[in-house]
């Protein structure tokens, strides 16, 4: 398998099935080995089996990695069944080797309902290892808040009403205009 790697992106999903019932049939995934001592370059979602290149990974064009993935059922001890597969990854050059990523993925901000429209709440920061300019956008669009596309500063767009909604969640994407956006 030849992969064009983009940092922070899932690029392959492994899947295993177990026909046992209840928790015994739950499959959990883990990376148990990566060639070239490169365990710091990849991660796997233990529930979904989605393999990602980590944002901090430095990878050379032409490098090849063998990732040993283990799938284990929900049984314990001697009853547990496991299976392993090897995923081969070859790094190829792309227009942008890395997508921007957020070093802090969750921000919590306390805002009084009397805070004036236009008040800056937080400055988001995404990094791009290629040094590309990063732009920001709220996704999906939101009428309560705005984000400055160039600076990442989030502001209030309309008066907030605590009785209407006491907690608001906001997703912001970072884009370097070369790779797919990341949230």
Would you kindly state where each structural domain of the chain is located, as residue ranges? 10-90, 100-183
List the structure tokens of 170.
Answer: 């906001």
Fold of 10-90: Immunoglobulin-like (2.60.40)
Burial class of 165 by CB neighbour count within 10 A (0 to 12, 13 to 18, 19+): exposed
Reported as a single tens digit per residue, the pLDDT across 23-39 is 888 999 999 999 988 88
The answer, yes or no, to whether residue 4 has pLDDT greater than 70, is no
Longest CA–CA separation in the chain, Å = 62
Q: State how far the Cα of 181 lies from the Cα of 149, in Å rounded to an integer.
A: 13
- What's the pLDDT at 102? 85
Residues 138 and 174: beta-carbon distance below 8 Å: no
- What's the pLDDT at 30? 96
Do 10-90 and 100-183 have matching folds?
Answer: yes
State which of 49-58, 131-140, 153-162 shows the largest mean pLDDT: 153-162
Residue 19: count of CB within 10 angstroms of its CB: 7
Task: Note the pTM of the prediction, 2 decimals.
Answer: 0.49
Residues 126 and 154: beta-carbon distance below 8 Å: no
List the structure tokens of 57.
Answer: 């990974």
- What's the pLDDT at 66? 92
Reported as a single tens digit per residue, the pLDDT across 69-95 is 999 998 888 889 999 999 988 776 555
Residues 119 and 89: beta-carbon distance below 8 Å: no
Q: Which CATH architecture has domain 100-183?
A: Sandwich (2.60)
List the structure tokens of 144.
Answer: 């309560």
Residues 83 and 48: beta-carbon distance below 8 Å: no
Output the CA torsion sign for 82, 88, 94, 98: positive
Residue 32: count of CB within 10 angstroms of its CB: 13
- What's the pLDDT at 83? 93
Nearest Cα residue to 7 out of 105, 106, 100? 100
Strands 153-156 and 145-147: antiparallel
Q: What angle do CA 8, 170, 157 make, to 5 degrees?
A: 135
């Amino acid at each position: 398998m030849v992969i064009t790697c983009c940092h922070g992106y899932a690029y392959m999903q492994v899947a295993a099935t177990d026909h046992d019932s209840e928790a015994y049939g739950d499959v959990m995934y883990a990376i148990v080995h990566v060639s070239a001592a490169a365990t710091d370059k990849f991660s796997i979602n233990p529930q979904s089996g989605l393999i990602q290149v980590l944002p901090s990974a430095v990878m050379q064009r032409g490098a090849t990695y063998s990732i040993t993935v283990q799938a284990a059922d929900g049984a314990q001890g001697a009853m547990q069944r496991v299976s392993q597969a090897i995923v081969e990854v070859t790094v190829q050059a792309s227009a942008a080797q890395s997508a921007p990523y957020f070093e802090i993925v969750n921000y919590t901000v306390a805002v009084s309902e009397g805070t004036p429209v236009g008040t800056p709440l937080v400055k988001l920061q995404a990094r791009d290892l290629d040094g590309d300019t990063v732009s920001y956008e709220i996704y999906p669009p939101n009428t309560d808040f705005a984000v400055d596309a160039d600076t990442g500063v989030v502001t209030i767009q309309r008066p907030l009403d605590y009785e209407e909604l006491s907690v608001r969640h906001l997703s912001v994407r970072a884009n370097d205009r070369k790779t797919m956006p990341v949230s």
